[in-house]
């Protein structure tokens, strides 16, 4: 049995390792597939967010340079000098993108916004105080840009991000842009042309776009200086009225003044030079105080550099981007995101402890000019996919099947081995039980046949021993044959429904002789009005003999040699019990004593006679009569075996 146990344990461990490896591999595969799935969804969300930023900046990049002051002349107005109020003149209120306002810094360092007209027109505004506060706020945020103009120092672009003492951070492109490192005094490409090439170059300028476009935010910034220089040499041909109006914005005395100055300038210039040239850089970004972003561009007008742009609150910009992309997906159900610069979180989830314990699902740098910003998505646990749920079910089912299957195989093999061992013990016990009486019978028969016993009393004693041993052999053989019939269900019961009180008295007398002969006291007790039950009296007698015989065998060394039999009624049952004062049965063995060939004692060291089939046969007989048999240890010692019958009626 120990060998089989070791073999099954070894086989189970090997099978568990193989099955576990397959399960782990399957879970790793499905985890990778789930992550790839959510990464793909995150990529789509990132593209939507980038498209929102690109669309927003493209609109701003396409905006006319002349709209950044209160009065302007539309590009479509080719003749005349009728001033219009800029479409940017209305202060933004709760702009969903977080827009604070627009600004312009002139070459002389003066600061302007499209929210305040010349002083002579300011009295017409109802919200003048609000507009002044807005302009003051924009002036404060853009102080570093105003310093760039006033000091007339070119900003050298590098791939590294720098920070100054005012917590202002330039966000450079991913690669150096030659266009952004030019001097604040931009050369006039018209003046550099040879006279013979002026007409050809003028025609070429007219065929080009109206302004230089900023790089696509969803693509890489041009990586060669030559490509940037080619764009830098593109001149914008605008109408003379718009150009002159922009240069004379600070005058605005009247339209005639602008017209008169334009006529004087045009009389002194060549036909080619009357064409106004405007050069525009792509938008750049600058982070201020970790909360505001300045989007600005450099414009060269008449070889002078202007700075135009707008300021956005990063928190509100992030909220707007998330509402139009991330929040419309299924990602917020299990993940969270933020935007950071290096290791500093600028918007989104701020808790470092939450981020520390989370895993990164997706991480990508934003496009130019925000390419120094990183957008990240974090998660603690990805949702289970349908494949994972199926894998859970299949794993549990296969584990259960394999475990139960191996357990059942082990139980079956163990049962066969145990039964085989019990049969061997039974054969040994039967051999022992047969050998003793046969030896006695043979010995006494030889003594009597040889005439060695002369005393008549001794002869009678030997005859009685031979008769007793013969009966014992007969009972043993009958028990074995009856067990075989019970196992094959060939045993026929003579069942009758009758009151058991009469049979109780008869059986008490028959069992009393057996008990007294072995030196035990016999006690009986029967209740009154015992209802009728269905049973076979002869089969019941055989069961009671087996129980009494066991009590005698196992209680012979007890101090109290008392065996009792009782008949009583409990609820709807009739209880017939045999009680002794012996050592009882170990609690762990109580449910095993009715198994075939089972003996508490080891076959090699046992001290009591028996074959281990008596209680098993008793259980089969009681079960065949529709009753039940139970064994319990008494609180004060000994064992009680109870036969339970259902009364009809009670």
What pLDDT, in 10s, does the model give residues 149-186? 766 544 444 333 444 445 666 665 443 333 333 333 33
Helix axes 501-517, 537-554, angle to 10 degrees: 30
β-strand pairing of 562-570 with 521-526 = parallel
Confidence of residue 343 (pLDDT cuts 50, 70, 90): confident
Listing DSSP states for 81-109 in one string gives ---EE-TT-SPPSS-TT-EEEEEEE-TTS
Task: Give whichever of 311-315, 431-435, 461-465, 494-498 has the largest mean pLDDT.
Answer: 311-315
CATH of domain 387-487: 1.10.287.130
**The tokens of 233 are what?**
């040499």
Q: Could you tell me which of 601, 604, 417 has the C-alpha nearest to residue 3? A: 417
Length of the chain: 650
- Entry pTM: 0.55
- Secondary structure element (H or E) that encloses residue 502, with its range: helix 501-517
Q: Could you tell me which of 146, 194, 156 has the C-alpha nearest to residue 176? A: 156
Query: CA-CA distance, 329 to 334, in Å (whole number)?
Result: 11
Buried b (16+ CB within 10 A) or exposed e, 4-20: eeeebeeeeeeeeeeee
Query: CA-CA distance, 204 to 198, in Å (whole number)?
Result: 10
Q: Give the distance, in angstroms, between the CA of residue 43 and the centroid of all CA atoms in the same chain.
A: 22
Average of pLDDT values for 255-270? 50
**The tokens of 587 are what?**
């609690």
Q: Give the distance, in angstroms, between the CA of residue 480 and the centroid of all CA atoms in the same chain.
A: 62
Buried b (16+ CB within 10 A) or exposed e, 94-119: eeebbbbbbbbbbbeeebbbbbbbee
Average of pLDDT values for 400-421? 82
Instruction: Give residue 458's pLDDT.
Output: 82
**What is the CA angle 169-175-180, rounded to 5?**
65
Average of pLDDT values for 379-394? 86
Query: CA-CA distance, 632 to 522, in Å (whole number)?
Result: 20
Confidence of residue 484 (pLDDT cuts 50, 70, 90): confident
CATH class label, 496-646: alpha beta
Instruction: Give residue 550's pLDDT.
Output: 87
Confidence of residue 131 (pLDDT cuts 50, 70, 90): very high
**What is the CA angle 65-67-69, rounded to 5?**
110
Query: CA-CA distance, 152 to 58, in Å (whole number)?
Result: 28
Q: Could you tell me which of 421, 419, 429 has the C-alpha nearest to residue 611? A: 429
Query: For residues 172 and 321, is the Cβ–Cβ distance under 8 A?
Result: no
Q: What percentage of residues in the chain have a pLDDT greater than 90?
A: 22
Listing DSSP states for 223-235 in one string gives --HHHHHHHHTPP
CA dihedral 134, 138, 141, 142 (to 10 degrees): -170
Q: Give the distance, in angstroms, between the CA of residue 508 and the centroid of all CA atoms in the same chain.
A: 71
Question: Scanning the structure block, which residue is given the tokens 């399957």?
Answer: 26
Q: Could you tell me which of 141, 88, 163, 165 has the C-alpha nearest to residue 292? A: 141
β-strand pairing of 573-580 with 562-570 = antiparallel
Domain boundaries, the chain: 2-49+318-386, 54-314, 387-487, 496-646
Confidence of residue 320 (pLDDT cuts 50, 70, 90): very high
Beta-sheet strands, E only, within 404-487: none
On the CB side of 581, CA atoms within 13 Å amount to 13
On the CB side of 326, CA atoms within 13 Å amount to 23
Q: Could you tell me which of 346, 322, 324 has the C-alpha nearest to residue 336? A: 322
**The tokens of 180 are what?**
């952004």
Which of the 8 DSSP states describes residue 327?
G
Instruction: Give residue 641's pLDDT.
Output: 92
Confidence of residue 350 (pLDDT cuts 50, 70, 90): low
Average of pLDDT values for 102-119? 90
Is there a shared CATH topology between the 387-487 domain and the 496-646 domain?
A: no
**Contacts for 529 with CB less than 8 Å, ≥ 6 apart:** 569
Q: Which of 81-85, 385-389, 396-400 has the lowest mean pLDDT?
A: 81-85
Query: CA-CA distance, 294 to 142, in Å (whole number)?
Result: 7
- Secondary structure element (H or E) that encloses residue 639, with its range: strand 639-646
- Per residue, the 3-state secondary structure of 548-595, as one string, reads HHHHHHHCCCCCCCEEEEEEEEECCEEEEEEEECCCCCCHHHCCCCCC
């Amino acid at each position: 049995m120990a060998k089989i146990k070791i073999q099954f344990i070894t086989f189970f461990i090997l099978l568990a390792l193989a099955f576990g490896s397959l399960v782990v591999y399957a879970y790793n595969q499905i985890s990778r597939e789930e992550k790839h799935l959510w990464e793909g969804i995150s990529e789509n969300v990132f593209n939507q967010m980038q498209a929102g930023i690109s669309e927003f900046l493209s609109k701003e990049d396409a905006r006319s340079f002349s709209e950044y002051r209160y009065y302007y002349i539309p590009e479509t107005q080719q003749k005349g000098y009728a001033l219009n109020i800029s479409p940017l003149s209305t202060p933004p209120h709760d702009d969903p993108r977080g827009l604070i306002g627009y600004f312009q810094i002139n070459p002389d360092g003066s600061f302007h916004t499209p929210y305040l007209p010349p002083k002579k027109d300011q009295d017409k505004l109802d919200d003048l105080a609000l507009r002044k506060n807005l302009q003051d706020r924009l002036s404060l945020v853009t102080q570093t840009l105003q310093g760039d103009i006033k000091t007339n120092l070119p900003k050298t672009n590098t791939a590294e991000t720098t920070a100054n003492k005012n917590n202002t951070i330039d966000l450079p492109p991913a690669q150096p842009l030659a266009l952004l490192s030019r001097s604040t005094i931009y050369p006039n490409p018209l003046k550099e042309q040879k006279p013979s090439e002026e007409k050809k170059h003028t025609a070429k300028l007219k065929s080009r776009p109206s302004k230089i476009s900023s790089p696509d935010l969803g693509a890489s910034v041009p990586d060669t200086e030559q490509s940037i220089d080619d764009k830098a040499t593109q001149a914008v041909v605008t109408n003379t009225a718009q150009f002159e109006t922009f240069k004379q914005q600070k005058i605005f005395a009247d339209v005639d003044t602008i017209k008169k100055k334009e006529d004087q300038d045009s009389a002194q210039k060549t036909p080619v030079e009357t064409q106004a040239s405007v050069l525009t850089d792509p938008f750049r970004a600058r982070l201020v105080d970790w909360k505001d972003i300045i989007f600005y561009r450099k414009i060269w007008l008449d070889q002078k550099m202007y700075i135009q742009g707008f300021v956005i609150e990063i928190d509100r910009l992030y909220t707007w981007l998330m509402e139009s992309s991330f929040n419309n997906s299924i990602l917020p159900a299990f993940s969270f995101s933020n935007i950071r610069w290096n290791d500093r979180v600028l918007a989104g989830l701020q808790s470092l402890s939450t981020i520390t314990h989370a895993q990164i699902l997706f991480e990508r740098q934003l496009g130019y000019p925000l390419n120094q910003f990183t957008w990240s998505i974090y998660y603690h646990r990805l949702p289970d996919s349908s494949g994972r749920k199926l894998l859970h079910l299949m794993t549990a089912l296969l584990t259960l099947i394999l475990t139960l299957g191996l357990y059942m195989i082990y139980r079956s093999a163990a049962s066969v081995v145990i039964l085989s061992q019990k049969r061997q013990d039974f054969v040994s016990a039967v051999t022992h039980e047969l050998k003793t009486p046969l030896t006695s019978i043979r010995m006494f028969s030889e003594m009597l046949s040889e005439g060695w016993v002369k005393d008549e009393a001794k002869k009678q004693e030997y005859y009685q021993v031979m008769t007793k041993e013969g009966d014992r052999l007969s009972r043993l053989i009958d028990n074995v044959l009856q067990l075989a019939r019970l196992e094959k269900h060939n045993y026929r019961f003579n069942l009758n429904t009758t009151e058991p009180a009469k049979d109780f008295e008869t059986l008490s007398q028959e069992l009393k002789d057996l008990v007294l002969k072995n030196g035990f006291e016999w006690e009986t007790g029967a209740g009154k009005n015992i209802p009728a039950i269905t049973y076979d009296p002869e089969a019941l007698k055989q069961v009671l003999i087996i129980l009494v015989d066991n009590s005698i065998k196992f209680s012979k060394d007890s101090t109290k040699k008392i065996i009792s039999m009782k008949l009583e009624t409990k609820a709807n049952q009739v209880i017939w019990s045999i009680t002794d004062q012996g050592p009882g049965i170990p609690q762990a063995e109580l449910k095993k004593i009715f198994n075939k060939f089972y003996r508490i004692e080891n076959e090699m060291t046992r001290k009591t006679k028996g074959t281990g089939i008596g209680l098993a046969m008793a259980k089969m007989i009681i079960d065949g009569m529709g009753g039940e048999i139970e064994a319990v240890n008494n609180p004060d010692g000994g064992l009680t075996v109870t036969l339970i019958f259902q009364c009809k009626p009670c």
